Structure 1
Amino acid sequence: MLEIRDTIYAFSKDAKPVARIKSGDTVKFFTEDCFGGQIKSEDKLVGAIDWNNVNPATGPVYVEGAEPGDVLVVDILSIDVKPQGIGCTIPGASIFDGETEIRTKVLEVKDGYVHYNDIKWPANPMIGVIGCAPAGDDVVSGMAGNHGGNMDSKVITRGAKVYLPVRVQGGLLALGDLHASMADGEMIGAGVEIAGEVVVTVSLIKDFELNWPVTETDDYFYVNTTAPSYDEATEAGYREIHRLLMNAYGWDFTDTAIYMSLQGELCANQTVLMSSWGYNIRVGTPKVSSKKRIIG
C-alpha cells in the first residue's frame, strides 16, 4: 500500500504532487494534529504556537485521469488515532470569548473512548480537512470552500465516502486535521485534535456536475457548504441538494422543495466566530433505496 507523509498548508493548483495513483488505488495518509504537533502538554497554550504551521494536510496526491468536471470519490476504510489528543480554547473563536480562560486540556483516547475530567464517551474519529486543489487562488488548509478543505464535518468518518469536485488535472487530493471526537459546530474552535493514520480508496466519476463536496453515510447524503454567513451557507447547501435531488428523482422544482421540508437535516459543522473562517454547514437528504442515487 502506498504511504503518504508529506504535508502542505494550502490547497493549490501549483502544488507539486508527492505521489501519483490510479483510480481504485488504496492509500495510507499519516497525519499530524491541527497544531502540527506543537502542543504536547497543558502548559503550552495556543497563543505560544506558530500559526503559520497549523492545519497541515497530507499530500497532495495526483489521481491519473482526473480532469476538471470529474468527481473524486474518497472511500474512508479506516481512521486510527493516537492515544493522546488536545482540547483547548482559541481566542476569538466562540461566543464565550473573554469569559473563558486560555486553556489546554490533554485528553486520553483509550479503548475506543475519549476521557475528559471524570467522564468518558465513545470516540468518533473523523477527518476535518479533506479536499482537492481549487482552480483559482490558493486556499489555506484551515479554510473550507467548494474544493473541500477544512469542512470539519463529524460524519466524515470511517465507512463514509467523500465526493470532491475536480477543478484541476489530477485533482491533487490532500487530507488531515483528525479529531477523536468533535461536536457539531465546534463551538469553541477545537475538537479533540489528534494525529493518526487514514486509509482510503480513491476512485473517479467522470463528467458529473458537482458544485460542492458531498459526504455519503450509511443512511444519508450530505452537501457541505461554506460562506461568510450562516444564511449564505445554508442557501448554497439547500440549492445544491435540491438540484441533485431533481436530477436524480425526476421531480419538478416545487415537489422537490416540498420534499426537502418533509425529510432531511440541516447541521452546523463549524460556527467559529473568526470571520475569516466562514460558516460550514451540511444539508442532508436520506437515501431512498427505490430511487436513483443522487451521486455515485
Structure 2
Amino acid sequence: MQRLAIGPLYYEFSRHYSPRLRIRPGETIVVATEDALSGQIRTNDDRRDKVAMPYSNPLTGPIAVEGAEPGDSLAVTIHEIRPTGGQAATRTAEPKQLCEWLGTDCPHGAHVCPIRDGLIYWSDTVTIPYAPMIGCIGTAPDWGCPTTLPAGPHGGNLDILETAPGNTVYLPVFVTDGLLYLGDLHAAMGHGELSATGLEMAGETTLTVDLLKQSRLAWPRIESPEEIMAVVSGPPMERSIAQAYAQLILWMESSYGWDRWRAYDLLTHVGRISVGYYGLGTVAAKVEKRYLAGK
C-alpha cells in the first residue's frame, strides 16, 4: 500500500503543482495531513499566528489518478481516519457574524483536547465522541486556483460531517490525472462549524480512489451505506439548499429511474439536509436509500 507523507503544504487546489503520488484506479492509499491551523496550536498556550502563516486548511497532494480525464469523476471511499498526535486543537477568537449579538470581546479560546478510547476530552467534565471527517477534499479545476477557504464544484472546504469513514465522496475531474488533494481533518464538528474551527487534528486517512468514466458531475456527491446526498456551496444558503435538492433529484432521475417531479414530491416529505460551515452556505441534501426503490 502506498503512503503519502506530509510534504509541501498547499493552500490551493491547483493544477500547476507536480503530482506527489501516482495511483491506479481502485488503489488503496494512506495520506498524512497537517491540521487546519498549520500546526500552530499544540498546547493551550499557543496562539494562531496569521503573520507567520496567514492561510488555513493546508492540503496534502496532488495525487494523480491514472486514466482520469475531464468529464470523469473520482469515487473516494474513506476507510479510516486516525489522529497522529493523539489530540485535536480548537479556537474561538473570532465570533464573526455572531458579533452583532454577542459582542467582540471573545477570548482567544485556544485549547487542546486529548483523544483516547474513542472520546475527545474537551474538558475535565465534558467528553465528545470521536467522529472524524475530512474538512477539505477536492480536485484541481481547469480554470483558476481556488483556495482552501471556499467550496465549489471541485469540492474544496466542504466541512460536511458525511465526508467520514464508511462513505464515498464523488468528485468531478477537470484536468488530466484528476489531481486529488485533501486535508483539514476534524476529530468532530457540529453542524454549521460555528466558530469556523472544528476539533482540528493532524492525521492519516486510509482511502480507496476509483475512477468513473464520463460521469460528468456538476457538484460533489456523497454516498453512505444508508443515504445518497448532493453537495452545493455558496451564499445565500437558501439557494444552496434549493440547488442541492435539485442536484439530488437529477441524480435520482439519472441513476435510479425516478421521474423528477415524483422525486420532487417525495423529497418534500422525506428529504434531509446537513450543513457545513454556515459562513460558506454549504449544504448536503440527502435521502435514505430505502426510498429509492419506490419509484
Aligned pairs (5 A) from 1:85-96:
85-95=88-98, 96=102
Secondary structure of the residue that 1:291 maps to in structure 2?
helix
Contact 2:141 2:175 in 1 (8 A): yes
Percent identity of equivalent pairs: 33
Amino acid at match of 2:3: E
Give the alignment's Cα RMSD to 1 decimal: 1.9
Specify the alignment match of 2:69 in structure 1: 67
Deviation at 1:104, TM superposition (A): 0.4
Specify the alignment match of 1:2 in structure 2: 2
Deviation at 1:210, TM superposition (A): 1.1
For residues 225 and 31 of structure 1, the distance between their equivalents in structure 2, rounded to whole angstroms, comes to 25
Deviation sequence 1:126-152 (CA, Å, 0-9, x none)? 110111011211011222111001101
Aligned pairs (5 A) from 1:1-296:
1-5=1-5, 6=7, 7-46=9-48, 50-81=52-83, 82-95=85-98, 96=102, 98=104, 100-117=106-123, 118-272=125-279, 278-288=280-290, 291=293
Deviation at 1:3, TM superposition (A): 1.3
Deviation at 1:289, TM superposition (A): 7.8
Aligned residues: 288
Contact 1:94 1:188 in 2 (8 A): no
For residues 93 and 222 of structure 1, the distance between their equivalents in structure 2, rounded to whole angstroms, comes to 29
Specify the alignment match of 1:275 in structure 2: none
For residues 170 and 232 of structure 1, the distance between their equivalents in structure 2, rounded to whole angstroms, comes to 32
Contact 2:65 2:179 in 1 (8 A): yes
For residues 243 and 290 of structure 1, the distance between their equivalents in structure 2, rounded to whole angstroms, comes to 13
Amino acid at match of 1:284: K
Deviation at 1:48, TM superposition (A): 5.3
Contact 2:172 2:217 in 1 (8 A): yes
Secondary structure of the residue that 1:238 maps to in structure 2?
helix
Deviation at 1:49, TM superposition (A): 5.7
List runs of 5+ in structure 1 lacking aligned partners: 273-277
Deviation sequence 1:206-232 (CA, Å, 0-9, x none)? 111211111111211111111132122
Contact 1:91 1:97 in 2 (8 A): no
For residues 104 and 44 of structure 1, the distance between their equivalents in structure 2, rounded to whole angstroms, comes to 7
Contact 1:90 1:189 in 2 (8 A): no
Contact 1:10 1:139 in 2 (8 A): yes
For residues 223 and 98 of structure 1, the distance between their equivalents in structure 2, rounded to whole angstroms, comes to 36
TM-score between both structures, scaled by the size of structure 2: 0.92
Amino acid at match of 2:71: G
More strand by share: 1
TM-score between both structures, scaled by the size of structure 1: 0.91
Deviation at 1:99, TM superposition (A): 5.0
For residues 254 and 283 of structure 2, the distance between their equivalents in structure 1, rounded to whole angstroms, comes to 22
List runs of 5+ in structure 2 lacking aligned partners: none
For residues 80 and 86 of structure 1, the distance between their equivalents in structure 2, rounded to whole angstroms, comes to 15
Deviation sequence 1:173-206 (CA, Å, 0-9, x none)? 0111001110011011111111110011111111
